[in-house]
Amino acid sequence: MPDRGHSEPGHRGPPLSVSSTDPLADWRLAEEPFYQPVGEEIAGFEAARAARLPVLLKGPTGCGKTRFVEHMAWRLKLPLVTVACHEDLSAGDLAGRWLLDGEGTRWMDGPLALAARHGALCYLDELMEARADTTVLLHPLADTRRALPLERHGELLHAHPDFQLVVSYNPGYQGLHRELKPSTRQRFVALGFDYPEPEVEAAIVAREGGVDAELAMRLVRLAVRTRRLREEGLDEGASTRMLVHAALLHRAGLPVRAAARQSIADPLSDDPQLAPSLRALVDASF
Amino acid sequence: MPDRGHSEPGHRGPPLSVSSTDPLADWRLAEEPFYQPVGEEIAGFEAARAARLPVLLKGPTGCGKTRFVEHMAWRLKLPLVTVACHEDLSAGDLAGRWLLDGEGTRWMDGPLALAARHGALCYLDELMEARADTTVLLHPLADTRRALPLERHGELLHAHPDFQLVVSYNPGYQGLHRELKPSTRQRFVALGFDYPEPEVEAAIVAREGGVDAELAMRLVRLAVRTRRLREEGLDEGASTRMLVHAALLHRAGLPVRAAARQSIADPLSDDPQLAPSLRALVDASF
Amino acid sequence: MPDRGHSEPGHRGPPLSVSSTDPLADWRLAEEPFYQPVGEEIAGFEAARAARLPVLLKGPTGCGKTRFVEHMAWRLKLPLVTVACHEDLSAGDLAGRWLLDGEGTRWMDGPLALAARHGALCYLDELMEARADTTVLLHPLADTRRALPLERHGELLHAHPDFQLVVSYNPGYQGLHRELKPSTRQRFVALGFDYPEPEVEAAIVAREGGVDAELAMRLVRLAVRTRRLREEGLDEGASTRMLVHAALLHRAGLPVRAAARQSIADPLSDDPQLAPSLRALVDASF
Amino acid sequence: MPDRGHSEPGHRGPPLSVSSTDPLADWRLAEEPFYQPVGEEIAGFEAARAARLPVLLKGPTGCGKTRFVEHMAWRLKLPLVTVACHEDLSAGDLAGRWLLDGEGTRWMDGPLALAARHGALCYLDELMEARADTTVLLHPLADTRRALPLERHGELLHAHPDFQLVVSYNPGYQGLHRELKPSTRQRFVALGFDYPEPEVEAAIVAREGGVDAELAMRLVRLAVRTRRLREEGLDEGASTRMLVHAALLHRAGLPVRAAARQSIADPLSDDPQLAPSLRALVDASF
Amino acid sequence: MPDRGHSEPGHRGPPLSVSSTDPLADWRLAEEPFYQPVGEEIAGFEAARAARLPVLLKGPTGCGKTRFVEHMAWRLKLPLVTVACHEDLSAGDLAGRWLLDGEGTRWMDGPLALAARHGALCYLDELMEARADTTVLLHPLADTRRALPLERHGELLHAHPDFQLVVSYNPGYQGLHRELKPSTRQRFVALGFDYPEPEVEAAIVAREGGVDAELAMRLVRLAVRTRRLREEGLDEGASTRMLVHAALLHRAGLPVRAAARQSIADPLSDDPQLAPSLRALVDASF
Amino acid sequence: MPDRGHSEPGHRGPPLSVSSTDPLADWRLAEEPFYQPVGEEIAGFEAARAARLPVLLKGPTGCGKTRFVEHMAWRLKLPLVTVACHEDLSAGDLAGRWLLDGEGTRWMDGPLALAARHGALCYLDELMEARADTTVLLHPLADTRRALPLERHGELLHAHPDFQLVVSYNPGYQGLHRELKPSTRQRFVALGFDYPEPEVEAAIVAREGGVDAELAMRLVRLAVRTRRLREEGLDEGASTRMLVHAALLHRAGLPVRAAARQSIADPLSDDPQLAPSLRALVDASF
């Protein structure tokens, strides 16, 4: 778990004015994020990057989509502006808004406008959760126009040449049973993600969780079993992230079984049928 | 993919006051957009233009409606104010609003009022997604009154003689199962769009994607096959835009098959039945 | 299509203060609107006017209700304040609101209060689309009290003797399946509108569209055929307005058949059954 | 139709400060409203007035509830503050709100607080249409506490001894199928209203509409017939108000039959079955 | 009906600043409220008071819950801050809000914060009508933490030792079919209320309504009969309050039967079956 | 019931500026909260703490989750910022907002940002009640990024190393039938809570309620019986908190049976079947 630094107590973030030295300073990565490639995703992303085409990442939770985007931002030496989408995120939150101070109203770019204006990767996580106005706002940025109409600012913002749009969602889970419209989908190229092969996944768990290869592999085998429970109604099986959690709890002193219960079985489900099955899987594994 | 220029980093858009030099400067096209006519649409538009009748463009996503409007704006030497409609776009977003600054409240025209006051083409993309208040706001602008009541500004804005209204929607897809009311429909003349004939489409793909004619035609044939999948539940087949994406990815170094998966098969669907069919179509094509 | 003048580029509407010279200047008609009477509607309106009773106009879209109100305003030498109703129009939009400027908050009359205070015709188009709060706001203005309570202004506004209320709706189409409440209905007297007789309608089309009488009559016969399609599911047949559009497109150089497709068949429907029927009707007519 | 005076053009209502000379000046009646008693309603109201009990008026639209309240206000020499209830009327609209001006925020009483503070009749018309927060706001004013908590003003307003609350609704029509809660109902005493006896109603029509007794009685007989159509689906039959409208139109020059169509048959219904029946009733009557 | 005094005309409530002399002055009772105990409710309340446990009052409308709280406030010499709950009451209305004036924003405690800060009884009437955010806001005040987080003020308000929370609802009527969550219920101790025994109730009616014991008892017997109509669909039978109303109308000069119709039968129901039954009960009683 | 101190009357909370001495002063615990461990929950929490993993507490209401978090905050010498979640809590309430004062707008951290910036435990109680935007806001704080994007402040807040996130919910009760999304669940490690063993629970009741061991055990036995009523439809049985309430009422002078009715039977249910059963259980116990 890389140390990413933190704000000094008392630090209150960048001043309002975005025209100061580096408006994207908060969003530059301080060190290289560990990422283990699982296929041709890096080549695919780089081809899309060359043509400045927007990219859609599809895959289950906790399989590394966010880490992959961080990795690509590091490789491309680009700042990374991340937005977690949800149903109450308005187009105004993304585009920007007017603030009032003693000298009148002042415009503050939202994260999407900030990234487009100054040339960052803009990553919208869980796009399927966003409202219609948020996704439609992306359309003119995501085709050859590469422009963001800021109606409320009276500006048509032409994107910086370094700007690129990346979005993700989990096709296996649909909170509000939404769908992306064809006119949105067809503006993106897509990269599919899935859980890595067992050997690759165990290497990740060993490295990120600080445990030996054998325990890592036993955790991966447990995860594979939980993923089969989807057929019995479990929303999703254990992700790689959960395995890392189990390893970290064990390193912090918990017995493996208690660590796996606490990080895998108990968070996964409250269902009266599934919860005991998950506990039994843990007990059979350790 | 024409270069449309971009904002300088640090540039913060036009100042608030719209009465300065050219309030429509952002919305003037810098160079001629490539457009390949597919029927009598240019003559149809010019007749409507002569009578200043509002125009409705109907057709599937990615078949060139937006590019056509850009082309007409270029031919007519008019600025083009584009608005992407969605369910959270309010009448106030289109008409304008009061801003507060140190000297009091100041009125800022919305994009529709801006276009009507100064004489631009105003293009409302995906009108079917807009709310009732947005479409009703268009009524007095779209008949012989050619006026926009700005209740909040206490003004009845009479449109500039150069102003013209253009709207579009995709009749094959209805996000919220809305319909346009007869009183809206009957104010417009309509131009229908569809995918171009294969030879025309291949020429567009070759030109925009920078690939040779033979590969362009193979991509078009793949697109035609995906369009037949609508009968099996696919929302929409591959658009011309997607074919251009595939060509661009290939030019950036990906093998054709990987490029076509990434730009056509994978974005089109997450359906457990349809997604493998799309991949199989790609694999059979290259 | 009468020229109604337009705002000078750069003109920004009347200043906020409504107490200046003529607060209704924007709403005075500059020239006489053409109107062809189709029955006793002028006598009916004048009797209601004599008693200052509010008037309800009922009829299909595009048959001339708005033009009739403009004509009556011209005859009566009254300014005409028009509001297009929709579900997001609030009582505050009609009644007025507080604006904030450097010297504090200032009240700005909405269009209804403006018309009531200074003595205009106030025309609410498509009243059925308005929300409950909008229609209830009309009640004390629409009975013998002739008063508008402006709760937010702390004022009971007594209407000017010249003020009169006119509303319209289309009983054949109900967007949101609303109904007017009896307590609203019973405050109005009603005038019914319908498409004019063929000879009258052809005369209108010839005059407004600038074509000869024979072509005008052929367009009217086409319209009559489309109106019969209501029994097969068409929301509404072609209005007189659409026929004028066809005539104008033809005058601008399109062949009659293309003009009629573009202005009549294509805007009327996207239905897979009805759209071809409409095109066939056009082709059989010209 | 009594002349109630009107605002001078340019008059802008009372200034914001309610502490000036007479904060209820707008709400004092200038002359005696005509009211024809139909039962013991005046004695019933006066007994409730003596005990300061809140009064609920029940009855169909247009039968004189509002006029009765005006009459009682005149008899009791009290100002009358009227509020038309609707679903968008908030508790804040009734209670009051903070306004901002150059010297800070200033509180402005809403109509209910104004009436409670200075001692007026407060009449809430169509209470059933109001939201829950509006009706609950009345509870402490409508029991022995006679107080209005103005949470946003930080004040518990104790009502003036002259203050009394009157509300009305139409039990035969329920727009949103709401009901008054028992805890609201049980705070009021109720007076029921209905259409007057034919002789009484004809006298009202003759007086208010300025026609002779015989025509007035024929209009009343027509109204009685329309009221029987409720069994066939008509929301409500013709009210006394509609008969006055017919008389006024006739006095303004329309033939009786045309006047009755315009003021009675056509406003009452758009139903394809009921509308012709209503016209036939008119034609059979004159 | 005790005289509770009233505001002087022109008085505008306490100034904004709550730190002045006595921020709870408006909420102190001026004289002892009459309350007739019907069981062990006073002892139950005093035990809860000793342990500062929050109290839940359950019972039908008009049976004396509010009067009981007033009585306990008088006994305990505590100010009583009352809030009528409804679905539009926000957590911000209860907790407080920022006000803007010439010197900037200023915090004004809402009624709940005011009571908690300065040590009053806080009585939330009809809690079941409140929204989730209102009830959840009570949780930390209603357990051993006795604290109110004022997120918007950046403060964790620790309650004054004199503060106590009282809420009420009517379990027999559920406007919006809501339920209190177990996590809310389990924080309160409960006291049940019902209509008093006939002799007790008659004594209350005689005292509060100013009539003799025999008439009071006849009114109580009528009430008992109406309460049996709940089985036939009546929401609630006549409350003690309604009987007091009947007595007051009679004292003001109405015959008993008219007084009972106006205060009991007519307010209780508009139902076409129940309303005549209620009138018949009245007529059979007097 | 520990005395937690209280605000002085007239004290108005910390000043707005959070950069003053100790922005978390309100949230530091003044004395050690009593907590009786019931399993391995302390070791589990400490392992999660060592790895700074976010913790999810699951269990019924009133079984000690909140007290456990207070206890851990005391052990870890950390301030504890608690937020009660509900459906109207917006992301802006948690993250912070702009306030306006005489010198312009000023940012005020919400409780989540405050805890993240300065290094506190942040406890979100009843997370299942929160809206989507609230839970999604937690995602980047709850994985290795440990960052909170404050879009409206233009800041990416990196969490202080001492910051840790704790959330709770009751899996047995789902107010709005919501579920936590897998992408939320999988970011947390979970600790399950339940009612303690009878002996442990009796010890807690004796200590917190100030009664002897025998009465405490009789109260626990009564609670166990009520918990079995869940099978007959009771939402939840009596919690430990309710038993403490009964003990406190008894100590304040009520007979045990009255105390148990008032604190256990009557608050638990209004159901016509269950309420008498609960009373009967009480009467059979004492």
* Model pLDDT for residues A91-108, shown as the tens digit of each residue: 778 888 877 655 566 788
Distances (CA, A) of F185 to A265, A267, A274, F172: 11, 6, 15, 17
- Measured in angstroms, the CA of D248 and the nearest CA of chain E are apart by 34
Is residue D11 within 8 Å of C155, Cβ to Cβ? no
Contacting residues of C for D252, CB less than 8 Å apart? 46-48, 50-51
Quick one: how many helices (H) and strands (E) in chain B? 12, 9
Tell me the per-residue pLDDT of B151-203, one tens digit each, with 9 for 90 and over: 778 788 999 999 999 999 888 765 444 678 888 999 999 999 999 999 999 99
Q: Is A54 exposed, middle or buried (0-12, 13-18, 19+ CB in 10 A)?
A: buried
Tell me the per-residue pLDDT of C79-133, one tens digit each, with 9 for 90 and over: 999 988 877 777 778 888 877 655 566 788 999 999 999 999 999 998 888 877 7
Q: Which residue has the higher pLDDT, D134 or E188?
A: E188
Contacting residues of F for A88, CB less than 8 Å apart? 90-91, 131-133
CA E237 to chain centre: 18
The Cα D43–Cα D45 span in angstroms is 5
Retrieve residue D134's tokens: 């509006």
Question: CB-hemisphere CA count at 13 Å for C164?
Answer: 25
Q: How does the average pLDDT of chain A come out, rounded?
A: 86
Is residue B258 within 8 Å of A62, Cβ to Cβ? no
The Cα B222–Cα B250 span in angstroms is 15
Phi, psi of A171 (to 5 degrees): -65, -20
Looking at beta carbons, which pairs linking E87-90 to residues 24 or more positions away fall under 8 Å?
E87/D131, E87/D132, E87/D133, E87/E129, E87/E130, E87/E131, E87/E176, E88/D90, E88/D91, E88/D131, E88/D132, E88/D133, E88/E131, E89/D133, E89/E130, E89/E131, E89/E134, E90/E131, E90/E133, E90/E134, E90/F88
Retrieve residue F139's tokens: 């995602």
pLDDT at D61: 85
Distances (CA, A) of F286 to B117, B212, E45, E57: 83, 93, 21, 24
Q: Which helix (H) or strand (E) holds D98?
A: strand D96-101
Q: Which helix (H) or strand (E) holds C98?
A: strand C96-101
Quick one: CA torsion of F193, F199, F200, F202, rounded to 10 degrees?
Answer: 110
| Range in A118-127, B48-57, D87-96, F14-23 the model is least confident about | F14-23
Quick one: CA torsion of C63, C66, C72, C73, rounded to 10 degrees?
Answer: -170
Cβ within 8 Å, pair E149-F111: yes
Angle (nearest 5°) at CA E277 between E273 and E280: 145
Residues belonging to chain D? 286
Quick one: CA torsion of E181, E186, E188, E192, rounded to 10 degrees?
Answer: 80
Phi, psi of F182 (to 5 degrees): -55, -40
Contacting residues of B for A91, CB less than 8 Å apart? 86, 88
Contacting residues of E for F267, CB less than 8 Å apart? 56, 185-186, 188-190
Is residue C141 within 8 Å of C148, Cβ to Cβ? yes
Question: Among partner residues F132, F147, F151, which is closest to A110 by beta-carbon distance?
Answer: F151
Contacting residues of E for F129, CB less than 8 Å apart? 132, 136
Q: What is the share, in percent, of chain A residues with pLDDT greater than 70?
A: 89
The residue assigned the tokens 């009571």 is E115
Closest Cα to residue E186, out of E132, E138, E134?
A: E138
pLDDT at B262 over 50: yes
* Preferred mutation among A1, A3, A4, A6 to probe F, highest tally of F CBs within 10 A: A6
- Measured in angstroms, the CA of E184 and the nearest CA of chain F are apart by 9
Quick one: CA torsion of C211, C215, C220, C225, rounded to 10 degrees?
Answer: -140
The Cα F209–Cα F147 span in angstroms is 43
pLDDT at B224: 96
Cβ within 8 Å, pair A13-F40: no
**Which residue positions in chain E have pLDDT lower than 50?**
1-19, 175-177
Q: Which helix (H) or strand (E) holds E181?
A: none
Chain F 138-167, residues with CB within 8 Å of chain E CB atoms: none
- Measured in angstroms, the CA of C270 and the nearest CA of chain B are apart by 6
Q: How many other CB atoms sit within 10 Å of the CB of residue D30? A: 11
pLDDT at D155: 83
Model confidence band, residue F101 (pLDDT cutoffs 50, 70, 90): low
Cβ within 8 Å, pair F4-E158: yes
pLDDT at C34 over 80: yes
- Residue B192 amino acid letter: G
Retrieve residue A2's tokens: 């890389």
The mean pLDDT of F252-261, rounded to a whole number, is 96
Model confidence band, residue B9 (pLDDT cutoffs 50, 70, 90): very low
Q: Report DSSP state, residue E26.
A: G
Q: Which residue has the higher pLDDT, C19 or F162?
A: F162
Closest Cα to residue B128, out of B87, B188, B68?
A: B87
Chains in contact with C, where contact means 3 or more Cβ–Cβ distances below 8 Å, are B, D
Spatial CB neighbours of C69, under 8 Å, sequence gap ≥ 6: C57, C80, C82, C121, C123, C166, C168
pLDDT at A173: 63
pLDDT at F185: 92
Question: Among partner residues A48, A91, A137, which is closest to B249 by beta-carbon distance?
Answer: A48
Tell me the per-residue pLDDT of A244-269, one tens digit each, with 9 for 90 and over: 999 999 999 999 999 999 999 999 99
Tell me the per-residue pLDDT of D199-234, one tens digit each, with 9 for 90 and over: 999 999 999 999 999 999 999 999 999 999 988 888
pLDDT at B178: 64
Cβ within 8 Å, pair D189-E249: yes
The Cα F282–Cα F272 span in angstroms is 16
Tell me the per-residue pLDDT of A11-24, one tens digit each, with 9 for 90 and over: 333 333 434 578 88
| Range in B239-253, E110-124, E219-233, F88-102 the model is least confident about | F88-102
Chain A 252-281, residues with CB within 8 Å of chain F CB atoms: 252-254, 258-259, 262-263, 266-268, 270
ipTM for the complex? 0.85
pLDDT at E134: 81
Distances (CA, A) of A35 to A64, A72, E237: 8, 9, 72
Q: Full-prediction pTM beyond 0.80?
A: no
Chain A 104-123, residues with CB within 8 Å of chain B CB atoms: 104-105, 107, 117-119
Cβ within 8 Å, pair C154-D108: yes
The Cα A25–Cα A181 span in angstroms is 34
Tell me the per-residue pLDDT of B70-88, one tens digit each, with 9 for 90 and over: 999 999 999 999 988 877 7
The Cα B113–Cα B98 span in angstroms is 13
Cβ within 8 Å, pair D183-E126: yes
